[in-house]
Amino acid sequence: MSTAHGAPGPKFPLSPVPESPATWTPLSRRECRAARTESADRWLRAQACRHALKRARRGSLPPDWRVQGLNRELAAGPHGQVWVWMKIAAMSTRPWEPGITAATCARPEVPLTAWLLDTVQYLREQEDANETSLSHVLGFNLIDASEDEWDALLDKERGPWSESVRDHWEPLSTVSLDADHPCSLGVRAHIILTMLHRIQLSHQVGLAAAGSSIDWIAQHRRRVRRWRFSADRCRELDWLNRVEQQDHLPPEHRLPEDWTSGQLRDT
């Protein structure tokens, strides 16, 4: 099954949404509060890790990012997300984190693949943890939808598509748009789809930078042609044409130096 993000693996079912009990008791109140707190913590933890992954892909993630995050929340006092960052601090080290590639003499594909898998996994986590996410509205985790499922979903949009997603949502601040958001289901789905396409683009450009013969321009061009917002589609295709004519990797998607240090040590 071909997915929008390109990462391998099966579909992941959604977790049950915490429901209010039929009869409130002190125990049921505590259980309901604990379930909702855990869902909120999962969403916040995934958001923080997604931010770290973005910085790691750009090569700007500090080696002590976990310690910095925990100290920042401790300094925030009672409003800090200390428990969230304690869980992040206890997580095992991942290959995309600074210094790991050099320490293990790994090839660039190792942190790049881990970056893709973790980015997709945290997107799943956010869709799953947010009970009003588009995935819960649809009844399955949209992150792992197939291309046919995406097309079927977008085909349900009523009326003509506008020229750009900016006509509906400014700024784009989150992936999990709540069910109450005024955007239609199709528009909300398209926002997630284009984000997944750009994640796959970044992964494929990274593979090319590591020496793979992958034709990332042709593959991304095929994905973009499925976009429904005409101005956004034309803008992305024009960018691809310029990159193809210049015949070099776009700097925003090149591999960070830290991810290539293991290969340099191994040669």
Cα separation, 161 vs 155, in Å, equals 10
* pLDDT at residue 173 greater than cutoff 70: no
| Per-residue model confidence (pLDDT) at position 192 | 93
Which tens digits make up the pLDDT trace of 26-51? 776 777 677 778 888 999 999 999 99
The pLDDT value recorded for residue 26 is 77
Backbone phi, psi, residue 249, to 5°: -70, 135
Q: Does pLDDT of 211 surpass 60?
A: yes
pLDDT higher than threshold 90 for residue 178: no
User: How large a percentage of the chain has pLDDT more than 70?
Assistant: 87
CA–CA separation, 200 and 219 (whole Å) = 10
Per-residue pLDDT reduced to its tens digit, 89-128? 999 999 999 999 888 888 999 999 999 999 999 999 999 9
Counting residues of the chain whose pLDDT is more than 90, the rounded percentage is: 55
pLDDT(151) > 70: yes
- Higher per-residue pLDDT: 198 or 2: 198
- The candidate with the shortest Cα–Cα distance to 167, out of 154, 179, 155, 184, is 184
Mean pLDDT, to the nearest integer, of 253-262? 87
Query: Does residue 58 surpass a pLDDT of 50?
Result: yes
Alpha helix ranges (H) inside the chain: 26-58, 65-75, 82-90, 100-104, 109-129, 134-138, 147-154, 185-209, 216-224, 230-246, 257-266
Decide if pLDDT at 184 tops 90. no
Model confidence at 223, pLDDT cuts 50, 70, 90, reads: very high
Stretch 53-65: mean pLDDT, rounded? Answer: 96
Instruction: Judge contact between 217 and 249, C-beta under 8 A.
Output: no
CB 145 within 8 A of CB 31: no
Q: What is the pLDDT of residue 234?
A: 97
Mean of all residue pLDDT scores within the chain: 86
Give the Cα separation of 136 and 47 in Å (integer): 18
- The model's confidence at residue 171, banded by pLDDT at 50, 70 and 90, is very low
Task: Break the chain into its structural domains and give their ranges.
Answer: 26-266
pLDDT of residue 1: 56
Cβ contacts of residue 175 below 8 Å, gap of 6+? 123, 126, 127, 191, 192, 195
Q: Is residue 134 over pLDDT 70?
A: yes
pLDDT on residue 185: 83
Burial 190-210 (b: 16+ CB within 10 A, else e): bbbbbebbbbbbbbbbbbbbb
Residue 159 pLDDT greater than 70, yes or no: yes
**Helix 185-209, helix 147-154: angle, nearest 10:** 150
